[in-house]
Amino acid sequence: MTELLPNYVAGRWQAGSGAGTALIDPVLGTELARVDATGLDLAEAFGFARETGGAALRALTYKERAALLAAVVKVLQANRDAYYEIATANSGTVKNDSAVDIDGAIFTLGQYAKWGDALGEVRALRDGDAARLGKEPVFLSQHLQVPTPGVALFINAFNFPSWGLWEKAAPALLSGVPVIVKPATSTAWLTQRMVRDVVEAGVLPAGALSVICGSSNGLMDQLQGFDVVSFTGSADTGAVIRSHAAVAQRSVRVNIEADSLNSALLLPDAAPGSDAFNLLVREVVREMTVKSGQKCTAIRRILVPAAVYDAAAEAIGAKLAGVTVGNPRNESVRMGSLVSRAQLNAVRQGLEELKAQASVLHDGSQAALVDADPAIAACIGPVLLGARDADAAQRVHDVEVFGPVATLLPYRDVEHAIALAHRGQGSLVTSLYGADEAALGQAAVQLAASHGRVHVITPDVAQAHTGHGNVMPQSLHGGPGRAGGGAELGGLRALDFYHCKSAVQASPAVLAQLGLSGG
């Protein structure tokens, strides 16, 4: 029998009392480890984090907590090789794709460590300037932010077991809020291992970081008024979280990152063969294939001028044809597997749904796998679909196939293209490709309302841009409407979620004693 990975709660390692759920290598089909949360004393777990962890973190200044993040970075860097092995085994990803998860996490933590260091030796943050409350500046209102005296519960998705933890933990810990992470069961190993390494290194105060692997049963019930919950996953589970009594009745703050029908838009000025056209083709292929398309930010809809539709189909299809799929341990493989056979079935089912309204322009789904048994491995090659009537193909704007699948859609004019992008009902990101800066700027503003991020690619940033789907800590991650309405990252803005806001109304002499950031 494989190892039952213990949970870390209430300051000690605790095994679940059940048989556990097996974590499977999605390429080889073998069992890797088991996870179980049965029988944990959740009240004790949450109480310990809230009281012991919270008190220890709040006793520190922002600068001191930033040093904790820097120490976590060192621990993770020292164990990086082990993380790559786990990612290959449990997520089926090739090295470049594991890097997005592992090195992306380390980079994000490092960035918050730097920002936190600059906040200085303070325990409260200034929120805007003081405003006078009367004619004379003798009685003022100063908004400030302090850490919420609760716990942050993270319920995470299967596709980013590393980054998903640390992109949330960095602002939470920097804010002074202890973390309990519940990774998605299928890929929980990497999260559990990282927490284990950090705990064993002793770099965080007791109670600052806990991990619960396995069932989510009862977690939400533990949440109290000053706690927060940050959820990443499907819209259906997001709705369950939102309607839980903790949120509905106890006002627990909730951040939801759900699914998203992201788009890429080629502007009318970009003819086939132009730099902008080639940049779109490159980015679409990258987005379809990185992590086998299992990225919440991946391009699902490709909007091109009607006159360019055939050329775009051909260019994207030609590049996809060169993508080798199979065992990520084989050096010749460019794209590994999906996280599970269940996910493979979901992708196949989603493809059938889309095919009812779209035709197949490139079909990699039947291609031979490298070094992998198609009866066992959760691998599928990329599939490009196309719908010549972009308005009629409603499912393409509705159904998120969480795999290497995207649909090409022609538009009449920019207005039509923007209307089609909005049909996603709120997305995490859209990317624009063109050389006409004025047209790009106008389109960006029009798309901002329905997108958390607008990524504009002109030929002059071909080498410098950070990628449509790459979530940088400097920029907001989240999106309105269907995308869940969440707001993560975006520099120090991310700390807002873990803070309580208050307006202190007092004389300038009292306000000077508050010890706020920035003097």
> Which residues contribute to the site for ligand NAP (CB under 6 A)?
155-160, 182, 184-185, 216, 232-234, 237, 240-241, 257-260, 296, 400, 402, 428
Within 8 A by CB and 6+ apart from 103, the residues are 80
- Considering the complex, state which of residue 168 and residue 319 has its C-beta at the smaller distance from ligand NAP: 168
Residue pair 298/464 in contact by the 8 Å Cβ criterion: no
Complete DSSP assignment for 56-71: HHHTS-HHHHHHHHHH
CA end-to-end distance (rounded Å), the chain: 59
CB atoms within 10 A of CB 202: 10
C-beta nearest to ligand NAP: residue: 233
- Considering the complex, state which of residue 448 and residue 512 has its C-beta at the smaller distance from ligand NAP: 448
Pairing of strands 427-433, 451-457: parallel
- Considering the complex, state which of residue 306 and residue 342 has its C-beta at the smaller distance from ligand NAP: 342
**What is the closest distance, in whole angstroms, from the C-beta atom of residue 430 to ligand NAP in the complex?**
14
- Can you tell me the distance from the alpha carbon of 267 to that of 148, in angstroms, rounded to the nearest whole number? 45
Name the packing angle between helices 62-78 and 163-175 (round to 10°).
160
- Considering the complex, state which of residue 58 and residue 300 has its C-beta at the smaller distance from ligand NAP: 300
**What is the closest distance, in whole angstroms, from the C-beta atom of residue 122 to ligand NAP in the complex?**
30
Q: Which residue has the tokens 């493989």?
A: 333
- Can you tell me the distance from the alpha carbon of 232 to that of 154, in angstroms, rounded to the nearest whole number? 8
CB contact burial 481-513 (16+ within 10 A = b; e otherwise): bbbbbbbbbbebebbbbbbeeeeeebeeeebee
Sign of CA dihedral 346, 316, 312, 416: positive
**What is the closest distance, in whole angstroms, from the C-beta atom of residue 428 to ligand NAP in the complex?**
6
Residue pair 94/334 in contact by the 8 Å Cβ criterion: yes
**What is the closest distance, in whole angstroms, from the C-beta atom of residue 213 to ligand NAP in the complex?**
9
What is residue 265's three-state secondary structure? strand
- Can you tell me the distance from the alpha carbon of 250 to that of 116, in angstroms, rounded to the nearest whole number? 30
**What is the closest distance, in whole angstroms, from the C-beta atom of residue 493 to ligand NAP in the complex?**
16
- Considering the complex, state which of residue 87 and residue 124 has its C-beta at the smaller distance from ligand NAP: 87
- Considering the complex, state which of residue 57 and residue 447 has its C-beta at the smaller distance from ligand NAP: 447
Select which of 167, 257, 283, 488 is catalytic: 257
Of 152, 439, 455, 155, the C-alpha closest to 287 is: 455
| Residue 504, H or E segment | strand 499-506
| DSSP secondary structure letter of residue 497 | G
**What is the closest distance, in whole angstroms, from the C-beta atom of residue 193 to ligand NAP in the complex?**
17
**What is the closest distance, in whole angstroms, from the C-beta atom of residue 216 to ligand NAP in the complex?**
3
Reply yes or no on whether 257 is catalytic: yes
Of 185, 154, 188, 155, the C-alpha closest to 172 is: 154
Within 8 A by CB and 6+ apart from 170, the residues are 69, 108, 109, 111, 112, 113, 473, 494
| DSSP secondary structure letter of residue 370 | B
Q: Which residue has the tokens 């393409």?
A: 396
Query: For the chain, what is the total number of helices (H) and then of strands (E)?
Result: 16, 23
Within 8 A by CB and 6+ apart from 352, the residues are none
Select which of 213, 296, 400, 488 is catalytic: 296
**What is the closest distance, in whole angstroms, from the C-beta atom of residue 352 to ligand NAP in the complex?**
18
**What is the closest distance, in whole angstroms, from the C-beta atom of residue 196 to ligand NAP in the complex?**
18
Reply yes or no on whether 296 is catalytic: yes
Q: Which residue has the tokens 């949970």?
A: 7
Of 430, 349, 364, the C-alpha closest to 395 is: 349
**What is the closest distance, in whole angstroms, from the C-beta atom of residue 114 to ligand NAP in the complex?**
23
What is residue 148's three-state secondary structure? coil
- Considering the complex, state which of residue 235 and residue 444 has its C-beta at the smaller distance from ligand NAP: 235
- Considering the complex, state which of residue 227 and residue 400 has its C-beta at the smaller distance from ligand NAP: 400
Q: How far is CA 398 from the centre of its chain?
A: 20
- Considering the complex, state which of residue 123 and residue 477 has its C-beta at the smaller distance from ligand NAP: 477
- Considering the complex, state which of residue 25 and residue 257 has its C-beta at the smaller distance from ligand NAP: 257
Name the packing angle between helices 62-78 and 80-91 (round to 10°).
70
Active site residues per annotation: 257, 296
